[in-house]
């Protein structure tokens, strides 16, 4: 279930980009509210400081890739070789 929630980088590019933009906009909206309230803005929520491409690369490298690797170990039929490509 958690994998479904964060799997946008494993989707086709158009959908991946759309979902990533929506997610970042949600974070930024929270950051905007934090700024308006005068409270510290969380690191990923500051639209003036976040580098969108780098944030996605980091998310893929440190969250998605290890998760996908473990998924294929548990369910080998999800692996690339199972696609007969």
Q: What gap in Å lies between CA 41 and CA 32, rounded to an integer?
A: 8
Residue 14 marked in a binding site:
no
**Residues in the chain, overall count:** 85
Measuring CA to CA, how many Å separate 36 from each of 29, 33, 44? 11, 5, 16
The SS3 assignment for 80 reads helix
DSSP-derived letter for residue 49 is T
Binding-site annotation, residues for Zn(2+): 5
Binding-site annotation, residues: 5
């Amino acid at each position: 279930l958690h994998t479904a929630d964060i799997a946008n980088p494993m989707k086709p590019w158009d959908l991946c980009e759309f979902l990533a933009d929506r997610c970042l906009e949600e974070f930024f909206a929270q950051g905007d509210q934090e700024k308006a309230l005068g409270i510290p803005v969380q690191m990923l929520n500051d639209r003036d400081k976040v580098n969108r491409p780098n944030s996605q690369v980091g998310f893929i490298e440190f969250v998605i890739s290890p998760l996908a690797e473990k998924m294929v170990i548990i369910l080998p039929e999800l692996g690339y070789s199972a696609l007969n490509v």
